């Protein structure tokens, strides 16, 4: 560990000598604690803080802030261990030419643990990011609070959490977990917009395996408790998960290319070579006319968006709904879509939470929202009701109703019951609603509706099954034909699926200047 520097002289000297002395100090700060510490970091399968920053930012663009900062703590031998940077590298640079602020824990110094000086450096770079109106990326690889510094370390975390909250909805905040992130430290990523993790080397938990065993008797590994796949598939804490740091940081760069710098700027537009009027006849075969047959909604999205490219958020959690960022004619859009391939695309507790937060993010950063519906309703069951499906489903309803960005919904196949209303129906404020010719919009499916409405007639029939089939057919022809909602103004148009891309691009172009005045209030009180 680097110790206190012994300066050659404090006597006046020519500037050449001072510059040479400065260069030595800078080289010491850049080198960190030494070759052995770096080799140990690499042996864990992890890059150093500076190597990670180099991958994240454009080459040569990083400007470091407070590289010579050192702690002032005393006791427990801390006086003899005062390395430069104090275990965190902070500064700014560019990603594809746009300014981005970053801080990266240096696990080689105090295990990346947070102390007073360490926290103050992070506070400063967060304040700078907010003031400049630029995204903030944190590269997390730390052992939590620095025990030797006591309560001042805890206060440092409080300052980070407060700034995370102040920055929420103002600048994009991205947390990249590249090592341990335990205890109170885990709450900062939870407050940010997106969390990236790397398999095998990333872990997040409030209490570690040792504490869990001591309190509950349960034995579990670090990865089993809070590894990347656990948070990507089970808890929903991680939005993205990758096999290595290089791929992970490349994907962070890609995500940043889709986001505006702040809530006062529009999302970046790129040149588009995919024709706006491109037809997609393949869509006529992707979606089965039979409402009970599954298909992959991702294929529908790929056919519609520019070059078939999308970045799916929370891909491995609540897979019955898709949330993704993509482009239409070079403009960024947020896409929410039911996934019939999983649980028939029903809405449940996790799907509602996943979509609600994504809608809120898009609305905060002026990203138009496209909603693709093929939903049979909410998932029935005791577990769902006791788990609060009413409360959690209301989160999605609130998010849509509160969103003022351009909103377009498209009924791909079926949309039943309360789930139809919640998934950005015209009645809750969708600007435009389209439907494909095979759409079915109704309170419930025809079979269920017939069983309710014609229960006695079916029971008294000499051939109940034949009677039921006839009445189901009658119900469909009268109340569930594709043009029923359009005739009543609940759908703006029924469109050819092959022309979907062109219709959506034209509609979004018109809505780009949309302005919605909201009631004056401090803030709403969304369901929790």
Identify the bridge partners of residue 105 per DSSP, sorted by sequence position. 88
| pLDDT 10s digits, 292-304 | 899 999 999 999 9
Same domain, 62 and 206: yes
> Under DSSP, is residue 119 helix (H, G, I), strand (E, B) or coil?
helix
Identify the bridge partners of residue 98 per DSSP, sorted by sequence position. 95
CA distances from 253 to 64, 135, 170 (A): 19, 11, 19
pLDDT of residue 2: 46
Same domain, 188 and 334: no
Same domain, 409 and 490: yes
Same domain, 78 and 224: yes
- What is the distance between the alpha carbons of residues 75 and 295, in angstroms, rounded to a whole number? 64
CA distances from 192 to 163, 168, 411, 453 (A): 10, 7, 32, 49
Query: Does residue 78 form part of some domain?
Result: yes
User: How many residues in the chain?
Assistant: 528
**Most distant CA atoms of the chain, gap in Å:** 111
pLDDT of residue 10: 54
Same domain, 147 and 294: no
Q: What is the mean pLDDT of residues 318-323?
A: 98
Last residue of a domain, one of 258, 289, 306: 258
Same domain, 121 and 218: yes
Q: What is the mean pLDDT of residues 7-32?
A: 76
Q: How high does pLDDT run on average in the chain? A: 91
| pLDDT 10s digits, 56-99 | 999 999 999 999 888 776 666 666 677 888 889 999 999 999 99
Number of structural domains, the chain?
2
pLDDT exceeds cutoff 80 at 478: no
DSSP H/E element including 433: strand 432-435
Query: CB-based contacts of 419: which residues, under 8 Å, 6+ apart?
Result: 346, 347, 375, 376, 377, 378
State the number of CA atoms in the 13 A half-sphere of 490 facing the CB: 17
Question: Can you spell out the DSSP letters for 325-350?
Answer: EEEETTEEEEEEEE-TTTGGG-B-HH
Copy the structure tokens of residue 189: 């990523």
Q: What is the mean pLDDT of residues 289-316?
A: 96
Percent of the chain with pLDDT over 70: 94
CA distances from 349 to 42, 400, 517 (A): 41, 16, 31
Lowest mean pLDDT among 85-94, 201-210, 437-446: 437-446
CB atoms within 10 A of CB 410: 26
Confidence bin at 1 (pLDDT 50/70/90): very low
Catalytic residues: 183-184, 418-419
Same domain, 364 and 490: yes
- What is the distance between the alpha carbons of residues 224 and 74, in angstroms, rounded to a whole number? 37
Can you say how many angstroms the Cα of residue 459 is from the centroid of all Cα atoms in its chain? 51
Query: Does residue 285 form part of some domain?
Result: yes
Identify the bridge partners of residue 432 per DSSP, sorted by sequence position. 408
Query: Does residue 333 form part of some domain?
Result: yes
- What is the distance between the alpha carbons of residues 467 and 36, in angstroms, rounded to a whole number? 81
Is residue 57 within 8 A of residue 95, CB to CB? The reply is yes
Last residue of a domain, one of 224, 258, 292: 258
CA distances from 302 to 50, 149, 227, 310, 313 (A): 36, 52, 30, 7, 15
Same domain, 297 and 432: yes
| pLDDT 10s digits, 335-364 | 999 999 999 999 999 999 999 999 999 999
Query: Does residue 507 form part of some domain?
Result: yes
Sheet with 136-140: strands ordered across: 63-65, 88-95, 98-105, 136-140, 173-177, 194-198, 240-242
Query: Does residue 296 form part of some domain?
Result: yes
Lowest mean pLDDT among 10-19, 174-183, 255-264, 517-526: 10-19
Query: Does residue 451 form part of some domain?
Result: no
Same domain, 152 and 109: yes
pLDDT exceeds cutoff 90 at 129: yes
Query: Does residue 517 form part of some domain?
Result: no
Same domain, 52 and 145: yes
Q: Residue 73 is part of which domain span?
A: 44-258
Query: Does residue 518 form part of some domain?
Result: no
pLDDT of residue 77: 63
Answering whether pTM is above 0.75, one says: yes
Identify the bridge partners of residue 413 per DSSP, sorted by sequence position. none
Same domain, 50 and 85: yes
Can you tell me which residue has the tokens 């709450």?
Answer: 187
| pLDDT 10s digits, 44-58 | 999 999 999 999 999
Residue 227: give its domain's CATH number.
3.90.226.10
- What is the distance between the alpha carbons of residues 300 and 374, in angstroms, rounded to a whole number? 12
Main-chain phi, psi angles of 175, to 5 degrees: -110, 130
Parallel, antiparallel or unpaired: strands 440-442 and 407-416: parallel
DSSP H/E element including 475: helix 464-479
Same domain, 58 and 179: yes
CA distances from 351 to 122, 308, 378, 456 (A): 34, 24, 10, 37
Query: CB-based contacts of 285: which residues, under 8 Å, 6+ apart?
Result: none
End-to-end CA distance of the chain: 46
SS3 per-residue string spanning 398-419: HHHHHCCCCEEEEEEEEEEHHH
- What is the distance between the alpha carbons of residues 451 and 501, in angstroms, rounded to a whole number? 39
């Amino acid at each position: 560990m680097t110790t206190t520097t012994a300066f050659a002289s404090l006597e006046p000297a020519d500037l050449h000598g001072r510059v040479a002395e400065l260069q030595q100090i800078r080289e010491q700060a850049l080198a960190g604690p030494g070759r052995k510490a770096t080799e140990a970091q690499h042996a864990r399968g992890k890059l150093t803080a500076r190597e990670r920053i180099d991958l994240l930012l454009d080459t040569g663009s990083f400007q470091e802030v407070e590289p010579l900062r050192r702690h002032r703590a005393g006791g427990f031998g801390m006086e003899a261990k005062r390395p430069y940077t104090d275990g965190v590298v902070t500064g700014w640079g560019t990603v594809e030419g746009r300014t981005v602020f970053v801080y990266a824990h240096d696990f080689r110094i105090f295990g990346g643990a947070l102390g007073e000086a360490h926290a103050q450096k992070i506070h400063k770079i967060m304040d700078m990011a907010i003031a400049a109106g630029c995204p903030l990326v944190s590269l997390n690889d730390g052992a939590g609070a620095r025990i030797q510094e006591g309560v001042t370390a805890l206060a440092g975390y409080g300052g980070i959490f407060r700034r995370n909250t102040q920055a929420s909805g103002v600048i994009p905040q991205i947390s990249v977990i590249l090592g341990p992130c335990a205890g109170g430290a885990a709450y900062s990523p939870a407050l940010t917009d997106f969390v990236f993790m790397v398999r095998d080397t990333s872990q997040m938990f409030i209490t570690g395996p040792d504490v869990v065993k001591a309190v509950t008797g349960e034995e579990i590994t670090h990865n089993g408790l809070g590894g990347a796949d656990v948070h990507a598939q089970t808890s929903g804490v991680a939005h993205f998960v990758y096999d290595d740091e290089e791929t992970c940081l490349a994907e962070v760069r890609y995500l940043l290319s889709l986001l505006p710098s702040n809530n006062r700027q529009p999302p970046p537009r790129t040149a588009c070579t995919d024709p706006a009027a491109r037809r997609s006849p393949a869509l006529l075969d992707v979606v089965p006319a039979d409402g009970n047959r599954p298909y992959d909604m991702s294929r529908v999205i790929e056919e519609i968006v520019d070059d078939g490219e999308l970045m799916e958020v929370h891909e491995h959690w609540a897979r019955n709904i898709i949330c993704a960022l993509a482009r239409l004619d070079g403009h960024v859009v947020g896409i929410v879509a039911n996934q019939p391939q999983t649980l028939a695309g029903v809405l449940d507790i996790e799907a509602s939470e996943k979509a609600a937060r994504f809608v809120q993010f898009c609305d905060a950063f002026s990203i138009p929202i496209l909603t693709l519906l093929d939903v049979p309703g909410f998932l029935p069951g005791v577990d769902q009701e006791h788990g609060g499906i009413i409360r959690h489903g209301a989160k999605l309803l609130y998010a849509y109703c509160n969103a003022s960005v351009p909103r377009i919904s498209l009924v791909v196949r079926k949309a039943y019951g309360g789930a139809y209303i919640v998934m950005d129906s015209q009645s809750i404020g969708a600007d435009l609603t389209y439907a494909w010719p095979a759409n079915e919009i109704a309170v419930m499916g025809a079979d269920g509706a017939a069983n309710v409405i014609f229960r006695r007639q079916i029971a008294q029939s000499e051939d109940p099954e034949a009677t039921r089939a006839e009445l189901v057919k009658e119900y469909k022809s009268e109340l569930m034909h594709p043009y029923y909602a359009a005739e009543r103004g609940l759908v703006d148009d029924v469109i050819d699926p092959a022309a979907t891309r062109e219709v959506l691009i034209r509609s979004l172009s018109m809505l780009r200047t949309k302005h919605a005045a909201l009631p004056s209030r401090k803030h709403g009180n969304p369901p929790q």
